[in-house]
A and B are shown apart, each in its own frame.
Chain A
């Protein structure tokens, strides 16, 4: 996944460099070009940095890049090349769009968008529920003793990207034949609201004494999720009726590992802690096949519209889940693993409308 994103970033960088060269090359010509450069972009935060990042969808600190580049080139009488893009490589916030078209005959379109989503490290902690005297200065963040169990960086952030390659015959806005490939991905760590319980005292059992604890200890998940889609669309006018057909195949791959820490916070410092870390390793995957046909007709001088459509989709899904519990008798002690359950499920589902 990371190599795919890297490849796309390199393609985008080469593409932007190419655009830069074209900027110089085209100055003498009539091609329309606009470039907006952000040489320095800096956000200084005095307060909760994690909260700032999560709520404003941006990282604090400095960055630089091209905030917008637009290019329009008439290659020959019928053929035009349009391109738009932006790139902030440090924060992985990149966009690219290219359209090559030959009149109303055919076109090729590329669309790419990538950005990073940030989460604060609280994992759903109520800010006002800080336990005093527990000896924890990093309360509300991922405790350092569990960071080893976390596969990636301790920052809760997720890279989201979208890539689409589309080719068609006919006008761009209304092709009679269109084929497209789409790739969506999410990769990183996110906070969850499935908060784990915080035991007020050793021996309190949530299942039997639910009123004695608050469900406020942090929880987070490591996510690797991508979707590949191929879509075919066709349109034909016959006897005054427009017939449309589409087919798409989609492969979804998901893998998430959820971490929920159960903590004991005794009222006095120095009392033995009892810790537990529960993990849920879940891999729901799906393959989807969908088909649709549709007939449309405008009548009475385009005043009346009638359509008849049928859409059928079939999803074949599987899910494998493994739940584990790690426990120790002291804070920062060795966590001993014991599997709690392992399950798998397969499901096939069809829907038509």
Chain B
């Protein structure tokens, strides 16, 4: 009897959750479906039409890495801007407007993931930036229209880590004793989209450091025991690993 009542409760709870879920997500689905239905009627108008209003993006786009893959799809006629933003006739006829009859990849990263499938997989790893959770978007770090699509390429006058330092200001320094790995970029140690390791590290133990410091029996007495004992940045050792203002070995 007890078991039956328990099952009944579980079924009722499940039904309630499903019902509430439907109520909660119906408007979202409706808005998405509405846009998708709307876009089915839209036609591709070509990049030149987009350029009449979005001159800045158009010119910047021509310098970007994305422009190099500007291959026209003969079946649909999609090319350039409309490859990512969808057919633009409804948007153009309406006189423009934010999100009016047009896909906005800033709100939905699926557009980016259509090509960058590896990044979607990385965002599914346990430790990741919250893009799939909607708290960040790809455009927070990447300028899809700009020449510097990858923030750490040498095409910007700004530093290689500028995209990271926008939020992680405490890691910028300058430090009296900077860690040289920072000059190579944060990606030397961090897998920035997602990782199986906490803090999105490439490795969780000394093997991360040994990528560069790959020699045994350090001159100052390091030996295999240290490697077995844990990570180099732990336990009062090289804790200030991004850089130190006080000690050249980053211990504090």
A309 to B126 alpha-carbon distance, docked (Å): 41
| Shortest beta-carbon distance from A33 to chain B in Å | 11
A82 to B231 alpha-carbon distance, docked (Å): 50
Residue of B nearest to A37 (CB): B27
With A195-B234, A215-B234 as contacts: A347 and B157 at CB distance below 8 Å: no
A214 to B235 alpha-carbon distance, docked (Å): 9
Residue of B nearest to A174 (CB): B56
Residue of A nearest to B229 (CB): A210
- B236's partner among A40, A57, A58, A278 (CB-CB below 8 A) is A278
| Shortest beta-carbon distance from A29 to chain B in Å | 16
Assess the B24–A38 pair: CB atoms within 8 A.
Answer: yes
With A36-B28, A68-B28, A124-B198 as contacts: A196 and B170 at CB distance below 8 Å: no
A214 to B225 alpha-carbon distance, docked (Å): 11
| Shortest beta-carbon distance from A272 to chain B in Å | 22
Report A-chain residues with C-beta under 8 Å of the C-beta of B211. none
Interface of A is mostly: strand
Number of interface residues of B (CB under 8 A): 53
User: Does A96 interact with chain B (Cβ within 8 Å)?
Assistant: no
Number of interface residues of A (CB under 8 A): 73
User: Does A206 interact with chain B (Cβ within 8 Å)?
Assistant: yes
User: Does B63 interact with chain A (Cβ within 8 Å)?
Assistant: yes
Which of A18-26, A148-156, A317-325, A328-336 lies at the interface?
A: A317-325
A214 to B62 alpha-carbon distance, docked (Å): 54
User: A131-175 interface mask toward B, CB cutoff 8 Å, 1 = contact, 0 = none?
Assistant: 000000000000000000000000000001000000000000110
A184 to B246 alpha-carbon distance, docked (Å): 27
Assess the B127–A55 pair: CB atoms within 8 A.
Answer: yes
| Shortest beta-carbon distance from A295 to chain B in Å | 13
Assess the B246–A321 pair: CB atoms within 8 A.
Answer: yes
Which residues of B are interface residues toward A (Cβ below 8 A)? 17, 20, 23-25, 27-28, 31, 54-57, 59, 62-63, 97-100, 126-127, 130, 133, 135, 157-159, 166-167, 169-170, 172-176, 198-199, 201, 225-226, 228-231, 233-236, 239, 245-246, 252
Q: Lowest 5 CB-CB distances: which A-B pairs, in order?
A: A215-B230, A174-B56, A215-B235, A211-B225, A345-B245
Task: Known pairs A56-B133, A195-B230; list 11 more (Cβ under 8 Å).
Answer: A93-B135, A184-B169, A191-B198, A193-B199, A210-B226, A215-B229, A286-B172, A305-B59, A309-B157, A343-B245, A345-B246
